[in-house]
Chain A
Amino acid sequence: MAYYDWFFDGLGLRTWCDGAEKTGSMSMAELMAKAKGTSVETPWWDVPFPSLDNLHKACGSIARSVDMTSGVEEAFLYIKGGLKAVLDPITEPLSWLLDGSLALFVGMPWWLLIPILLAGTYYASRNVGVTIFVAISFLFLAFIDHYSYSIETLSIIFVCTVLCILLGVPIGIAMSKNDTLQRMTIPVLDMLQTLPAFVYLIPLIFLFSVTESKLYGIAIIMYAIVPVIRLTDLGIRLVDKDVIEAADAFGMTNRQKLFGVEIPLAMPNIMAGVNQTIMMALATVVIASLVSAPGLGTLVLRGIRNLELGVGLVSGFGIVLLAVILDRVSKASLARINTTQRG
């Protein structure tokens, strides 16, 4: 009947094959074949690849690919309990942070928050032009009633970026000091960066409830932490060897060397990493609206779901504006560090 019958007959495995009862649902193809009840000689150019499904046709004891994927699912569900017991308490503060920051940002009246944001912008960038640009952008967003959405998005990005820096910079420093750690970490970083954000979301949905804010927090951090780790590692490795030698020759301790020489000299690279991290957090926060992340992303989602073209376009423009603001402010502060450090 099936092409690979000869293989199992030849090996004398027929009894083993037929011994297994067919379990699980039948695929559409199987049903069709059964309905037709035909058995045509397979021409040689149509020889099927010996995949799980094709072998299963000849031998019932071999699992189908459907069984394989459901096996993976069962395995994940099996370890889910333990994983959740460990991860839930660890990640709980992330929910508090995200919710707390959201409540703070949204709860603050606009006439207080906008000046605070502008003061922060000026303090970080020391650039009047950038500050004026940020002021105009916020007033515009507020004018078209996208203010609270933008602030929600900003609040999420703020929390996630701070956590990325707090976690990523130490990891980057450790990588720069230890070649083995670097070799082991780089493939993980590559994977985190190439996996589509949607793929993180699926197991996360199973682990935590969709209503918990840490769900999108984790997804954003996993995606956005990569550049700050990479560029911290790179920046510290690129610090002038002569200067490090001088620090050694004057008897600096490792601690003095790290905080007095290596981190300050790596600062331009670390800041470039922070800039990239902010941009990636913004990119993910839109996708994360699929799992209840508030902000401009929900409007984009509404645009897609209800085919409301105008809503989608305007909120998309709002995201671009936010991206430009964040990029300009972080680049301006990077430039400021560069001039005070190297000239």
Chain B
Amino acid sequence: MTDKKLKVVIRDLYKIFGPDPESVLDHARNGMSKTDLLEQHGHVLGLRDINVDMADGEITVIMGLSGSGKSTLIRHLNRLIDPTGGEILVDGTDVLAFSEEKLRELRQLTMSMVFQKFALLPHRSIVQNAGMAPRVRGESDAEADAEAQKWLDRVGLGGYENHYPHQLSGGMQQRVGIARALTSNSPIMLMDEAFSALDPLIRTDMQDLLLELQKDLHKTIIFITHDLDEALKLADHLVILKDGAIVQQGEPQHILLNPNDPYIEDFVSDINRARVLKVRSIMAPLGSANRDNTFGEVDGDSTLEGVIAQSGGDTTHNYLVVKDGEPIGVLDMKDLVRALVPRTASEQGIRGQASAA
């Protein structure tokens, strides 16, 4: 983590909604709770003390339930919403100091965005929609269309360029949304619940598409979701938000195995661990384990489900774990089974409270 170049850094970010947010910023800084702030001062705490480092070329997923402030947070990055306190650094420059002009430049060149409700222009054709960013920058129609066409082909929409948004299904419209963001050729892509409005099969398709694109493009992607499965599938770095504050952040596999909060345990108890956990997260390191009688090789990034399928359900073997052809550890099938033992939902979590009430 430390050796990677940081693309976007958020420091001590606060957002308070109300008639005079500045006046209550100090109360929020001193740790006054969201309910107290609302009752005593009539202000709503949107975000509290957010610190996130987003590395270049990684997918940072911000996850939380509705009302946790995740959509507010992502809108701070391109300043569709201005913060009450804190700083946001993009490539080391504080975007809060930007003038109107510089801010527009940032939005045109550095950051593009994909929206939950697609937000395409209904009166423009698909290729015109996809070419929105170059047109806004003032490039010629021919250039914009050529660039847009390239990315439309890339997201699998070749042949639809002269259709209009209402003629396309939701999944296809969101492909246009992604093509529009890619056409801007910006290094940073903000995705606000980009796949939440799609049905599950299409959603899986779109996640695969995004991962495949990311393999070649290495953009810095900030992805918002309320779906843990989606978060775990996409995230290089996972940030979990609750009531406007960060509960836990880190490598997703690590969070899955070591949830530090009842709120997260609630989430974690619900998911299919075999499909999400990866071999490298539960293997034994090379030195300590017995690697003589390994049964075969498995890839470090394959899921436990994949290994179970490979073993045919036999739990008596050991496997050598490799990455790029190099052995990196040993997986004992018994450890695998142990890792699959489900965690029960915490008593102190949301569901514990709900059932007690």
Q: Which A residues lie within 8 Å of B136 (CB)?
A: 250-252, 256
Q: Are the C-beta atoms of B107 and A243 separated by less than 8 Å?
A: no
Contact of A340 (CB < 8 Å), options: B105, B109, B123, B132:
B123
Alpha-carbon distance between A249 and B76 when the two chains are bound, in angstroms: 11
Q: Are the C-beta atoms of A253 and B104 separated by less than 8 Å?
A: yes
Q: Are the C-beta atoms of B106 and A251 separated by less than 8 Å?
A: yes
Please provide the chain B residues from 311 to 347 with a CB less than 8 Å away from any CB of chain A in the complex: none
Alpha-carbon distance between A341 and B125 when the two chains are bound, in angstroms: 10
Contact of B119 (CB < 8 Å), options: A243, A256, A260, A343:
A243
Please provide the chain B residues from 218 to 276 with a CB less than 8 Å away from any CB of chain A in the complex: none
Alpha-carbon distance between A264 and B122 when the two chains are bound, in angstroms: 9
Alpha-carbon distance between A249 and B116 when the two chains are bound, in angstroms: 14
Alpha-carbon distance between A208 and B208 when the two chains are bound, in angstroms: 74
Contact of A243 (CB < 8 Å), options: B111, B113, B121, B166:
B121
Q: Are the C-beta atoms of A249 and B78 separated by less than 8 Å?
A: yes
Q: Which B residues lie within 8 Å of A256 (CB)?
A: 136
Alpha-carbon distance between A243 and B118 when the two chains are bound, in angstroms: 8
Contact of B113 (CB < 8 Å), options: A246, A252, A265, A341:
A246
Q: Is B133 an interface residue (CB 8 A)?
A: yes
Q: Are the C-beta atoms of A249 and B80 separated by less than 8 Å?
A: yes
Please provide the chain B residues from 127 to 186 with a CB less than 8 Å away from any CB of chain A in the complex: 132-133, 136-137, 164, 166-167, 180, 184
Q: Are the C-beta atoms of B112 and A341 separated by less than 8 Å?
A: no
Q: Which B residues lie within 8 Å of A253 (CB)?
A: 104
The smallest C-beta distance from A259 to any residue of chain B, in angstroms, reads 12
Q: Which B residues lie within 8 Å of A248 (CB)?
A: 80, 107
**Count the B residues whose beta carbon is within 8 Å of the partner chain — how many?**
30
Q: Are the C-beta atoms of A343 and B123 separated by less than 8 Å?
A: no
Known contacts A264-B123, A341-B122: A246-B112 contact under CB 8 Å: no
Q: Which A residues lie within 8 Å of B112 (CB)?
A: 249-250
Alpha-carbon distance between A340 and B190 when the two chains are bound, in angstroms: 31
Q: Is A342 an interface residue (CB 8 A)?
A: yes
Q: Is A240 an interface residue (CB 8 A)?
A: yes
Q: Is A97 an interface residue (CB 8 A)?
A: no
Q: Which A residues lie within 8 Å of B119 (CB)?
A: 240, 242-243, 245-246
Measured CB to CB, the nearest residue on chain B to A257 is B136
Q: Are the C-beta atoms of A341 and B107 separated by less than 8 Å?
A: no
Contact of B123 (CB < 8 Å), options: A249, A252, A341:
A341
Q: Is A2 an interface residue (CB 8 A)?
A: no
Q: Is B117 an interface residue (CB 8 A)?
A: yes
Measured CB to CB, the nearest residue on chain A to B138 is A256
Count A-B pairs with CB separation below 8 Å. 64
Known contacts A243-B121, A250-B107: A343-B166 contact under CB 8 Å: yes
Q: Is A261 an interface residue (CB 8 A)?
A: yes
Please provide the chain A residues from 218 to 250 with a CB less than 8 Å away from any CB of chain B in the complex: 240, 242-243, 245-246, 248-250
Q: Are the C-beta atoms of A249 and B113 separated by less than 8 Å?
A: yes
Query: What 0/1 pattern do residues 32 to 52 of B give for CB contact below 8 A with A?
Result: 000000000000000000000
Known contacts A252-B136, A256-B136, A261-B121: A343-B115 contact under CB 8 Å: no
Measured CB to CB, the nearest residue on chain A to B112 is A250
Q: Are the C-beta atoms of A251 and B122 separated by less than 8 Å?
A: no
Q: Is B196 an interface residue (CB 8 A)?
A: no
Q: Are the C-beta atoms of B166 and A251 separated by less than 8 Å?
A: no
Q: Is B84 an interface residue (CB 8 A)?
A: no
Known contacts A245-B80, A343-B164, A343-B167: A250-B123 contact under CB 8 Å: no
The smallest C-beta distance from B275 to any residue of chain A, in angstroms, reads 33
The smallest C-beta distance from B109 to any residue of chain A, in angstroms, reads 8
Alpha-carbon distance between A250 and B105 when the two chains are bound, in angstroms: 9
Alpha-carbon distance between A327 and B70 when the two chains are bound, in angstroms: 49
Q: Is B214 an interface residue (CB 8 A)?
A: no
The smallest C-beta distance from A341 to any residue of chain B, in angstroms, reads 4
Q: Is B108 an interface residue (CB 8 A)?
A: yes
The smallest C-beta distance from A203 to any residue of chain B, in angstroms, reads 44
Alpha-carbon distance between A243 and B132 when the two chains are bound, in angstroms: 12
Known contacts A242-B117, A256-B136, A261-B121: A251-B80 contact under CB 8 Å: no
Known contacts A256-B136, A342-B166, A343-B164: A249-B122 contact under CB 8 Å: no
Known contacts A250-B133, A343-B166: A245-B104 contact under CB 8 Å: no
11 chain-A/chain-B pairs, Cβ below 8 angstroms: A240-B119, A248-B80, A249-B113, A250-B107, A251-B105, A251-B106, A253-B104, A261-B121, A340-B123, A343-B166, A343-B167
**4 extra interchain contacts, Cβ-Cβ under 8 A, other than A246-B113, A250-B133?**
A249-B111, A249-B113, A250-B184, A343-B167
